[in-house]
Structure 1
């Protein structure tokens, strides 16, 4: 199953403006989204670390 998280429109809104309502919603959403979890855990450790830093993400260590 292909994960769409890498080109998610909500994620793009966060990248463009993290303080926007939709940006904040996406950031909150990834804390429990099963699709994000599967996508994140499918990445190489280096990519995971990059996303952890970029999105201040601390889950799934």
Structure 2
């Protein structure tokens, strides 16, 4: 299975921002350890690939 980019520019920027925000909030004690779930959108945004999008046939790639 190859990873073909399926995340567009706006989607990517939002994922990275949300991921970093959740991780930062967790590090600063604003939210609990669940904030580390921000790793998921951070990775998918960085890699420009979302396995869930592929499974359901969605793409936001420009």
TM-score higher than 0.5 here?
no
Mark the structure with the bigger radius of gyration: 2
Q: TM-score, normalised by structure 1?
A: 0.32
Q: TM-score, normalised by structure 2?
A: 0.32
